[in-house]
Amino acid sequence: MSQALRAASIALAAACCLNAGCGPNADFASATKQPAQRIEFWTLALAPFEPYLRERIAAFERIHPGAQVVWVDVPFEAIDRKLTAAAAAGRAPDVLNLSDRTFGRFAGLGAMADLRPLLEFRAEDIYLDGALSIGRFGNRLLAVPWYLTTQISMVNAELLDRGGLKFDNLARDWSGLRSQAIAYRAKTGKHLFSLPLGEESQLPIIMWAENLRPLRPSAADGGRLVSNLLDERVAAYIRGWVDFYRSGAMPSEAATRDHSHLTEMYQNRELAQIDSGPNFLKRVQDVAPGVYASTVARAPVTGMSGKSHIATMVVAVTRRSRQPKLASQFAAFITSPESQTEFCRLAPILPSTPASLRSEIFTAQESSTDKVAAARSIAAASLRDAVALTPAMEVWPDLRRAFEESMKRMLLDARDTDAELRELNDTWNAILSEGPPAFEECLPRLAPGIEPAEARP
Amino acid sequence: MMSRPPALTASIYALGALLAAIAIGPVLWLALIALQRPGKDLNSISADITLANFAAAWDKGRLAGPLVNSILTTLLRAALNVLLAALAAYPLARMSFRGRDAIFVLILATMMIPDQVILVPLFRIVAGLGMYDTLAALVVPFAVSALGIFMCRQAFLQIPASMDEAARIDGASSLAIWWHVIVPLSAPTLATLALFSVIGAWSDLLWPLVVLQNSRNYTLPVAINELTGAFNTNLRLAYAAAVLALVPIIAAFLAVQRWFRPQLFAGAVKG
Amino acid sequence: MTGRLAHRRLTPYLFVAPALALLAIFVGAAFIRVVYLSFTHFTAFSDAPLWVGFSNYSAALTSNRFWMALLNTAAYLLVTPALVALSLLAALIVHTGLRGSGALRVTLFLPVVTPAIVGALAWQLLLKDHGLLNAALASIGAEPIPWLTRRPWTLISPMLVTLWKGFGFYMMIFLAGLLAVPRELEEAAAIDGGGRWSIFRHVVLPAIWPVVVLVLVVSSISALKVFDEIFVTVKGVPIEHQTLVPLVFNTAFEARGGDHGLASAIGILLFLVILAFSIVNLRISRRKAAGAPA
């Protein structure tokens, strides 16, 4: 065979190898042509609920013959990266489940489609108003709410005991908890509790609950919101937490790690108390049965206002989806009252549809011996005192990010808090002036929360 | 030859032992922690060991797929690297043709461009070619490296031209000369290139992190990285997975280590 | 006759073609594109790149974050002398040929074969606040060190991983160099009455000096490109603690919207740093090679 032919056939063979579908279950070559009615649905950390989701998808596909829903579950900490990469590659999903925090980040980038023209019903008829507000941007609706999670407190009674504290004496508010933490550390050398300060920081949320306002309407400019960080009380509050961290009563992870370090350290008996979603109780049961045995659940820690935070999960349709109508139908389907009621049966979560709240699963089982069920009813009860403590502003995620970086500098690099707060104040004002104007009605209202029994559609 | 004072010999042994301890210590500790029962303090060890974490890591981490993907892409990438570099280096070392020097300089120039700098457009090019979220994306862009071509050319230049001539007189084609003369005589360099490719491909984290999306396409480093993520509160699983990822590559290395002598690097030293 | 000539003329090109094509597409075209993108505003969610001239560069060069990353990248170069020293030491030990040196050589190479994420996790475990290293420090009465959270430790910890992972590799290169030192030279010096140390200084070191330079250059360029160790070992630290490659990654794929234009600009700046560094290195090494230490 001539040399040229030889070389060419080698090259051809190599090319064939690359394109063949080798490997057991891997996508070696590019995806084959997709069916006309294919939509991709991403969920955030819902892998344990696979049976439920598969059942719902199957039900949807029956109602819409020809439709095919491909489900992908994404871990919490990877969502930014994956969504950005997928969008950059032109492969963003059609239907997207996000937490209120991550949703805020992407909505502001114009990544979501307006659902109002796509939905076949009025969103206000189906969903709780408080939950719906997360997705409202002006008169566009960029997402519908899905499930809600409030937090509960998990307390390791045994560890408390070692520090000379009793469960009933444990403070229910943050400032009380801080003083007890200092005493606890002095006595046992360990940490009483922790809170993410520098990564997915809880402080911007807690401040609202403490009747503090990091943002205020300006005197001029039509009442547009400006930074209020230099207000005496707000600055003192932030300083208080920084000093508290520096005193060593908080673990160093509080500055660099997000929420996950709470459960990790709690499981390792390094923390005596944490606030977390009730579903983590189940995890503790699986991973650290010894700790689970000494764990008691109670209502979450609150601020001076007595309010705690509801995290709302939302479902959105991406703007570049090729099947916007079908995608919006699926979004409505998965968040429908029937779907949500069923979901609540399986997980200690709460629905965003008032119709579901009337279901029997929410009548109290306060004294149940099953800790997880008890935790769920505690969570449901705390819904009364829970408020979405997130301002409905496009730039809120940017403000939070700036806050977190500033926190990290104060905590880790021991920067002077006053100087740092002044810089942060300027940064916040810069962000606020560059974004669309926001006004007082965007701020969280500490009005009474949602009454489960009396919720009206 | 001078004999060594016993004190010196002893300190050499001691230093050697210290270095060896440093080399394997960290991973050994990792394995020990992975062997502990869940629920214990993450930093303490006891004799109470269990293989449960490894089983759980394999199972919940779904490491089977990533393992296969890693093996597949690593072997393909290494094979292609050696093949294409050896092919390309042959005319550059042996033949004279128009544009030879220009081509060589161009190839060398690409060595100056680090992968990390072209990360973003590489991503877009790969996505544009339809390779986003496929294993091909892990192989094709890295199927050849300028460094490999350079190494092969160095090695080929060492082979006396008389060997080529002898074969050509016998009527062999260029390809035959390449296959029967050049390749066997440069086997040590090719083996070194293969080893570097294998190590690089097996360990690659940044690129697969960026270009893979569906978990069934993951390679081991990406799967492990996910196990360290936010909502996995059991770091022991990540550690167990990391140890599991180590086993194949260590086994492969130990299998070939007896051929892996410093002399292989002589080419690099002379260059 | 013409047929064979025609084949022979094509042959070299056929041999080079696959490699050249791949390099042209995945390195050449990519490089041209990154230069282009650096002058555009282009995010993951944009529909098309928008030409903005030098604004990405000015944004990068006026951002605190960039200069911190550049500083950290430069500081990271400090790992190079340590790496050279450690690998040379290891090579000298193995080179003695004492019993067990073969096994030692293999053992010391194991970290090189270890995937970066495994090494990074192992070291992260050791360096945790309550980890083994701090426990060891406590046992000798020293203060625990915030390896993973405070400066400058957040840079030192990944450097430890780089050091650990790399020294076996460069050890092999040094071994090759040591083996190339002619025995006769050493023996001649010994006969001349030189002590062990002076033989090393005056015979061995000059002989392997080109290798030392090679290792210095290669390892320092690698140090400029480090990613895995930093991404895994000190996860969660503010971006100001990180170096240029993690900054590119963060800008392109993690920060809000994935700013590909800015990331490209930072990438080009990184390229210029590496280029400048290589040129300086080459100049110095050529001069040193000409007049090696006596």
Q: Is A92 an interface residue toward B (CB < 8 Å)?
A: no
Q: Does C192 contact chain A (CB < 8 Å)?
A: no
B178 or A435, greater pLDDT: B178
Identify all chain A residues contacting B124, using CB atoms and an 8 Å cutoff: 88-89
pLDDT of residue A47: 77
Which CATH entry fits the domain spanning A152-309+389-442: 3.80.30.20, 3.20.20.80, 3.40.50.2000, 3.40.190.10?
A: 3.40.190.10
What structural domains does chain C harbor? 2-61 (no CATH), 64-290 (1.10.3720.10)
In this prediction, residues A342-365 reach a mean pLDDT of 73
**Average per-residue pLDDT for chain A:** 80
Confidence band for B181, pLDDT divided at 50, 70 and 90: confident
Rounded alpha-carbon distances, angstroms, from residue A359 to A173, A335, A345, A372? 32, 16, 10, 19
Q: For A296-343, write each residue's pLDDT tens digit.
A: 888 888 878 777 777 889 999 998 898 899 999 999 999 999 899 888
pLDDT mean over A374-379: 73
A26 contact residues in B (CB cutoff 8 A)? 65, 68-69, 72, 135, 216-217
Residue A39 confidence (pLDDT) above 90? yes
Q: Does B86 touch chain A if contact means CB atoms closer than 8 Å?
A: no
CATH of A38-150+310-386, one of 3.30.930.10, 3.90.550.10, 3.40.50.11310, 3.40.190.10: 3.40.190.10
In percent, how much of chain A has pLDDT > 70? 84
In Å, how far is C166's CA from the nearest CA of chain A?
Answer: 28
In this prediction, residue B168 has a pLDDT band, given cuts at 50, 70 and 90, of confident
How many other CB atoms are there within 10 angstroms of residue A251's CB atom?
21
Where are chain A's structural domains? 38-150+310-386, 152-309+389-442
pLDDT for residue A25 is more than 60:
no
Most confidently modeled range among A25-29, A321-325, A450-454: A321-325
Average pLDDT of A428-435?
Answer: 85
Stretch B25-33: mean pLDDT: 90
φ, ψ of residue A296 to 5 degrees: the values are -125, 140
Chain C residues close to B264, C-beta within 8 Å:
172, 176
Contact B221 C115 (CB under 8 A): yes
Question: For residue B166, what pLDDT band results from cuts at 50, 70 and 90?
Answer: confident
Q: What pLDDT was estimated at residue C289?
A: 55
Query: Which one has a higher pLDDT value, B170 or C84?
Result: C84
Say whether B39 and A25 touch across the interface (CB within 8 A).
no
Give the pLDDT of residue A18: 41
C-beta separation of A317 from A310 below 8 A: no
Tell me the C-alpha to C-alpha distance, in Å, between residue A438 and each of A204, A431, A434, B256: 17, 12, 11, 66
For residue range A80-118, list pLDDT tens digits in order: 888 888 888 888 899 999 988 788 778 877 788 999 988
C238 vs A contacts (CB less than 8 Å): 198, 405, 408-409, 412
Lowest-pLDDT choice from A232-246, B85-99, C250-264, C278-292: C278-292
- Mean pLDDT calculated for residue range C147-159: 86
SS3 content of chain A, % helix, strand, coil (to 5): 50, 15, 35
Contact B213 A263 (CB under 8 A): no
In this predicted structure, the answer to whether residue C161 has a pLDDT above a threshold of 90 is: yes
Decide: B31 and B243 in contact? Cβ < 8 Å.
yes
The rounded distance, in Å, linking the Cα atoms of B23 and B29 is 11
Q: How does residue A19 score in pLDDT terms, banded at 50, 70 and 90? A: very low
Maximum average pLDDT range among B89-98, B243-252, C69-78: C69-78
CATH of domain B62-270: 1.10.3720.10
- For residues A336, A337, A340, A341, the Cα torsion angle rounded to the nearest 10 degrees is -160
| Contacts B249 to C, Cβ<8 Å | 113-115
Query: How is residue B59 written in tokens?
Result: 């199972």
Write the DSSP assignment of C53-70 as a string of letters. TTHHHHHHHT-HHHHHHH
Mean pLDDT of C179-202: 73
- Is the predicted pLDDT of residue A8 greater than 50, yes or no? no
- What is the pLDDT at residue A439? 78
Nearest CA in chain C to B237: C121
Name the residue in chain C with its Cα closest to that of B27: C122
Q: What is the pLDDT of residue B40?
A: 65
A27: confidence class by pLDDT, cuts 50, 70, 90: very low
Which has the higher per-residue pLDDT, C265 or A109?
A: C265
pLDDT-derived band at A446 (thresholds 50, 70, 90) equals low
Decide whether A38-150+310-386 matches A152-309+389-442 in CATH topology: yes
- Cβ–Cβ of B120/C117 closer than 8 Å? no
Q: Could you tell me the two tokens for B229?
A: 């993520």
pLDDT interval class at B271 (50, 70, 90): very low
Bigger pLDDT: A60 vs A123: A60
Tell me which chain A residue has its CA closest to the CA of residue B211. A85
> Which residues make beta-bridge pairs with A227?
A215
Digit-coded pLDDT (tens) for C24-80: 999 999 999 999 999 999 888 887 888 998 999 998 998 888 998 999 999 999 999
Per-residue confidence (pLDDT) for residue A15, from 0 to 100: 41
Q: How far apart are CA A137 and CA A108, in angstroms?
A: 9
Summarised one tens digit per residue, pLDDT across range B41-66 is 666 777 777 888 888 888 777 888 89
Lowest mean pLDDT among A54-63, A216-225, B221-230, B231-240: B231-240
Q: Is the pLDDT of residue C2 over 50?
A: no
Q: Which residues pair with C40 in a beta bridge?
A: C51
For residue A28, pLDDT beyond 80: no
Mean pLDDT across A392-406: 83
**How far apart are alpha carbons B170 and B182 in whole angstroms?**
16
What local confidence, expressed as pLDDT, does residue C104 receive?
92
Which of B60-74, C76-90, C229-243 is most confident? C76-90
Assembly ipTM: 0.83
* Amino acid at the residue A329: Q
Q: B39, A288: Cβ pair inside 8 Å?
A: yes
- How close is the nearest chain C Cα to the Cα of B50, in Å? 19
Mean pLDDT over all residues of chain C? 84
